[in-house]
Amino acid sequence: MSQQTASVPMPTAQELAIARQKQPRRFILSSIGPMTFLLIFTLYSLIPFFWLVVSATKSQADLFGTFGLWFAPNFNLFTNLGQLFTYNNGIFGRWLLNTLLYAGVGSVVGTFLAAMAGYALAKYNFRGRNLIFSVILGSILVPATTLALPLYLMMSKVGLTNTIWAVLLPILVNPFGVYLARIYASASVPDELLEAGRIDGAGEYRIFTTITLRLLAPALVTILLFGFVAIWTNYFLPLVMFSDSSLFPVTVGLQSWNVTASNASANGQTIYNLIVAGALVSAIPLLIGSILLQRFWRGGLGAGAVKG
Scan residues 142-181 and list those touching other proteins (CB under 8 A). 142-147, 149-154, 169-170, 172-173, 175, 178
Which H or E element spans position 184?
helix 175-188
Q: How many CB atoms lie within 10 A of CB 36?
A: 10
Among 6, 42, 86, 246, binds other proteins (CB under 8 A): 42
Other C-beta atoms closer than 10 Å to the C-beta of 261 total: 15
Nearest distance from C-beta of residue 195 to other proteins, angstroms = 6
Neighbours of 74 (CB within 10 A): 12
Cβ-contact 129, 121 below 8 angstroms: yes
Residues in 265-304 that interact with other proteins by CB under 8 A: 272, 275-276, 279, 282-283, 286-287, 289-291, 294, 297-299, 301-302, 304
Three-state helix/strand/coil letters over 188-240: HCCHHHHHHHHHCCCCHHHHHHHHHHHHHHHHHHHHHHHHHHHHHHCCHHHHH
75 near other proteins, judged by CB under 8 A: no
Site stretch for other proteins (CB under 8 A), options 66-74, 75-83, 84-92, 214-222: 66-74
Contact criterion met (CB below 8 Å) for 223 and 300: yes
Q: Of the candidates 6, 41, 74, 244, which one interacts with other proteins according to CB under 8 A?
A: 41
Q: Which of residues 77 and 147 has its CB atom nearest to other proteins in the complex?
A: 147
* CA-based radius of gyration for the chain: 24
Span of 74-82, 83-91, 132-140, 214-222 interacting with other proteins by CB under 8 A: 132-140
What residues from 82 to 101 belong to the interface with other proteins (CB under 8 A)? none
Binding residue for other proteins (CB under 8 A) from 121, 215, 216, 274?
A: 121
| Closest distance to other proteins from the beta carbon of 290 (Å) | 4
In the range 220-259, which residues lie near other proteins by CB under 8 A?
229, 232-233, 235-236, 240, 251-252, 254-255, 258-259
Q: How far is the CB of 139 from other proteins (least distance, A)?
A: 6
CB-side exposure of 210: number of CA atoms within 13 Å?
A: 13
Rounded CA separation 266/260 (Å): 10
Stretch near other proteins under the rule CB under 8 A, chosen from 71-79, 80-88, 202-210, 213-221: 202-210
How many CA atoms are closer than 13 Å to the CA of 73, on its beta-carbon side? Answer: 1
Query: Which of residues 19, 61, 97, 217 is near other proteins by CB under 8 A?
Result: 19
CA dihedral of 209, 214, 219, 223, whole degrees rounded to 10:
40
* Contact range with other proteins by CB under 8 A, out of 46-54, 71-79, 85-93, 216-224: 46-54
